[in-house]
Structure 1
Amino acid sequence: MDGLKVVIIGAGIGGLTAAIALSQSGHTVEVYERAQELRPRGAGISLWSNGVKVLNRFGMGKDIAEIGGQMDFMQYLSTSGEVLNHVNLHPLIEEVGQRPYPVARADLQAMLLKKFPGTVNLGYRCLSVEEHGEQVTAQFENGHKATGDLLIAADGVRSSLRQYVLDREVHPTYRDYVNWNGLVAADEALTPANTWTIYVGNHQRASLMPVGGDRLYFFFDVPLPLGTSAPPELIRSELAEHFKGWAEPVQTLIERINPEQTNRLEISDVGPVDRMVRGRVALLGDAAHATCPDLGQGGCQALEDVYMLNHFLLTTNISVEDALKRYEAAREDRTRSIVKKARNRAEVIHGKDPEVTAQWYDQLRQESPSDVTDAIAKTILTGPLQ
């Protein structure tokens, strides 16, 4: 189908990539974002090879390579700094045909904004949608209305349009741990420049991952009850208490973080939901299948959504509704599996069953690096781009 008018709600990774892809396919695209300014949720993101391949498909391969970190190895360490497992990622890269790129979210968002030929309308909070004949209209809080041939709801984990598609409310579910994340200058005292380093123990994690600009994306995970909080000035002391006695690089990292630029997030997920489409309205990305970040596939799944949605709009011509139903059918099993797999991994990492977590620590010591890369490759190659 050519020359459709597409209304996209949400200017995150999924919404902006969809805007780029659909514009390249000859459609007219309008993007609306409820925020007054674009500020990414979280400091960094690991884009595994399946997500990078989607960006390659839409002409952004060189761009993502320029802003992404060069990650050649990953290593798991104990709280004392003992190496539990050291994994060379080159066999994985050769098997799947693409290097992964950890990237600062602000850099990724800036790249996508530059590639989108249109304008993102900021400060537009969508209140409702209404379908009428062969069109759909979004109604915004400021009184504006946007009408198109289809509407993509890419408005995130707390989507305001998910209820319309599902005909029921589905709220995010807290997964029992808090994540702190941000960026620091790269330094060999923290981790080798080409290595993703993960310290594990006490059902907690401290992680350092290379991103572009000689920086490291860091995160800490700690199981905590819902509703805990700390003002920025207490974040460093809070982390120091949780990670007391951990290896020296972890202590150095805590000293170097900028508390004012450190995010503190209560981690939730959504779904699996039983549908992604209603008529001419399609959910995309976190609005349909927000995952725990423990698998590194949240952003990648939004990008896969974009690829498949664009594919069916290009290759089927029965109707918009038909193309969207094909998109839904193509994504259902994949996204369900990823949500469940990421949730299970979060539970293993963060001690939902302490015995299972202890077994995982033992497994890290014993499993071969190829077992690690084979598991990652399986997740990547189960997607639509081989």
Structure 2
Amino acid sequence: MNNLKVVVIGAGIGGLTAGIALSQAGYEVEVYDRVQELRPVGAGISLWSNGVKVLNRLGLGAEMAKIGGKMERMEYRTKTGELLNNITLSPLIHTVGQRPYPVARRDLQTMLLAAFPSEVKLGHKCIGVEEDGKGVTAIFENGHKAQGDLVVAADGIRSILRTHVLGQQIEPKYGGYTNWNGLVPADAALAPKDCWIIYVGDHKRVSMMPIAGDRFYFFFDVPLPKGTPANPETYKAELKEHFQGWAAPVQSLIELFDPNEVARPEIHDVGPIDRYVKGRVALLGDSAHATCPDMGQGGCQAMEDAWVLTQYLMTTNLGVEYALKRYEMERTERANAVVQKARKRAEQIHGKDPAITQEWYSQLAVEKPTDVTDAITKVIMAGPLR
């Protein structure tokens, strides 16, 4: 189908990737976001090979390599620092044909914005859509209307347009834990610079990953009741208490980070939902399948969505709605499975059933490193780009 006009709502990872892919397909694309200034949510993200392959396919491979961290292996350690497992990533990279990249969200967003050929229209909050025989119109709070052949709803975990697609409101579900995350200068005293290191114990987790610019992306996970108050002034004291007695690098990390530069989300997910499409409106990314970050697949699934949507539009002459139905069939199966798997993983890691978490700690100490990389490989290879 030629000469389509696409209206994309949301300029996060999914919305921008969709904007780039659809523009490269020759379509006219407008991207809108409700915020006045684009600021990425969270400090970093681990992009596994399936997400990276989409960016490679869009011609962004060289840029991705510049901003991604060179992560050669993973280490699991006990809370006091004893090595549980040392996992080289080379078997994974060899099998899937692409290395993963931990990356700063700001760097990724800057790269995607530069690759999108038009300007993102900020300060436009989409409050609804109207369809008629000729197309679909996005309606904004400020009175603006944008007409197109389809609307891509990449408006995030608290999506307004999800309610339109489903005919009912779906509330995000609390994943059971809070996550503090940020960036610090890389330092061999914290972790080796080519290694993703993860400390586990007491249903909590501390992680450090190398990213470009000689920095680590770090996070702390703590199971807490939903709605626990957040105040940057007390972050250090709280984390010192939560991680009392943990290994020296964990204590150093708490001393080092700047609390005013730290994000502290309560982790939520959405779904699985059985519909991503209604007429000429398609949900994409977190609006369809917000995912607990315990598998590092949230951003990757949004990128896959963007790629698959574009391919189905390009390869049919049977109309927009037909292409969107095919997108829905493929993506509900793929992304919903990831949502469920990541939720199960979040519960396993964070002590929803303490016996299961204890079993996981024991398993980490004895399982073969290739069992870990094989499991990750399986998730990556189930995507659209081999």
**TM-score range relative to shorter protein:** over 0.9
| 1:165-200, Cα deviation, whole Å (9 max, x unpaired) | 011111101111000000000000111000000000
The corresponding residue for 2:318 is: 318
The corresponding residue for 2:275 is: 275
Question: Does residue 237 of structure 1 match 2:234?
Answer: no
The corresponding residue for 2:358 is: 358
Aligned pairs (5 A) from 1:268-307? 268-307=268-307
- Which SS does the other structure have where 1:165 is aligned? helix
The corresponding residue for 1:97 is: 97
- Of all paired residues, the percent bearing the same amino acid is 65
The corresponding residue for 1:51 is: 51
| 1:277-327, Cα deviation, whole Å (9 max, x unpaired) | 000000000000000000100000001101100100010110100000000
The corresponding residue for 2:331 is: 331
| 1:131-179, Cα deviation, whole Å (9 max, x unpaired) | 0113100111111000000000001101111000011111101111000
How many Å separate the matches in 1 of 2:189 and 2:132? 61
The corresponding residue for 1:69 is: 69
Gaps of 5+ in 2: none
RMSD, aligned α-carbons? 0.5
Aligned pairs (5 A) from 1:173-322? 173-322=173-322
Aligned structure 1 segments of 4 or more residues deviating by more than 4 angstroms:
none
How many Å separate the matches in 2 of 1:216 and 1:2? 44
How many Å separate the matches in 2 of 1:28 and 1:229? 44
Aligned pairs (5 A) from 1:160-175? 160-175=160-175
- Which SS does the other structure have where 2:8 is aligned? strand
- Which SS does the other structure have where 2:264 is aligned? strand
- What's the CA shift for 1:231? 1.2
Give the letter aligned to residue 39 of structure 1: R
- Which SS does the other structure have where 1:264 is aligned? coil
Give the letter aligned to residue 72 of structure 2: D
The corresponding residue for 1:86 is: 86
- What's the CA shift for 1:336? 1.2
TM value normalised by structure 2: 0.99
- What's the CA shift for 1:230? 2.4
| 1:31-50, Cα deviation, whole Å (9 max, x unpaired) | 10001110111100000000
The corresponding residue for 1:153 is: 153
- Which SS does the other structure have where 1:40 is aligned? coil
Give the letter aligned to residue 95 of structure 2: E
The corresponding residue for 1:128 is: 128
- What's the CA shift for 1:333? 1.0
Gaps of 5+ in 1: none
| 1:245-296, Cα deviation, whole Å (9 max, x unpaired) | 1000000000001000001110000000010000000000000000000010
How many Å separate the matches in 2 of 1:22 and 1:382? 23
- Which SS does the other structure have where 2:265 is aligned? strand
- What's the CA shift for 1:338? 0.2
How many Å separate the matches in 2 of 1:146 and 1:125? 12
- What's the CA shift for 1:3? 1.3
TM value normalised by structure 1: 0.99
Give the letter aligned to residue 115 of structure 2: K
Give the letter aligned to residue 80 of structure 1: T
Give the letter aligned to residue 245 of structure 1: G
- What's the CA shift for 1:355? 0.3
Give the letter aligned to residue 356 of structure 2: V
Give the letter aligned to residue 138 of structure 2: A
The corresponding residue for 2:344 is: 344
How many Å separate the matches in 2 of 1:213 and 1:148? 40
How many Å separate the matches in 2 of 1:33 and 1:277? 20
